[in-house]
Amino acid sequence: MDSVVQLQRQLVDYRAQLFNEGFLDEQFNQLQQLQDESNPDFVVEVVTLFFEDSERLLDELAKALEQQSVDYRKIDAHVHQLKGSSSSIGAQRVQKVCIGFRNFCEERNIEGCQKCLQQVKHEYSLVKTKLETLFKLEQKILAAGGSIPLPM
């Protein structure tokens, strides 16, 4: 069993890795700073909303791109929403793909859009896994009686 100190170090290192690899950006730190004793689950709550919202949007996007007559405005609207929510929680790589996605929408480039959908699904799935890992690590620390180190 890892000690609290070891777990805390693992968390700090893992978090740093996520930042270095561009999965998360400064906005994620903003979320952490909004969490306190009276709102101890704020980050998990917002991120969970992000997961639910994103999954809905990705479904809608897949459906929209399968249509005989593609509605690029609708697709752009969905991507805009996904870009916004990923930006709000600091999911930088997801946000970046959305920017390219919107460009393809403007060009009415179906192949470009389809490629971006695959890319955004991939990035979303990666960041989801990583955030879930991060949260599990936090739970382990709390269960061991430790506190979650604040971002530097």
The answer to whether residue 88 forms part of the interface with another protein (CB under 8 A) is yes
Out of 55, 63, 71, 84, the only residue in the binding site for another protein (CB under 8 A) is 84
Total chain residues near another protein (CB under 8 A): 23
Distance between CA atoms of residues 21 and 132, nearest Å: 16
The answer to whether residue 142 forms part of the interface with another protein (CB under 8 A) is no
> Rounded to the nearest whole angstrom, what is the least distance from the CB of residue 34 to another protein in the complex?
5
C-beta closer to another protein: residue 4 or 77: 77
Out of 3, 17, 33, 118, the only residue in the binding site for another protein (CB under 8 A) is 33
Segment interacting with another protein, rule: CB under 8 A, options 6-14, 79-87, 114-122, 136-144: 79-87
In the region spanning residues 8 to 27, those forming contacts with another protein, defined by CB under 8 A, are: 27
What SS3 string covers the chain?
A: CCCHHHHHHHHHHHHHHHHHCCCECHHHHHHHHCCECCECCHHHHHHHHHHHHHHHHHHHHHHHHHCCCCCHHHHHHHHHHHHHHHHHHCEHHHHHHHHHHHHHHHCCCHHHHHHHHHHHHHHHHHHHHHHHHHHHHHHHHHHCCCCCCCCC
- Residue numbers at the binding site for another protein (CB under 8 A): 27, 30-31, 33-34, 39, 42, 45-46, 49-50, 52-53, 77, 80-81, 83-85, 87-90
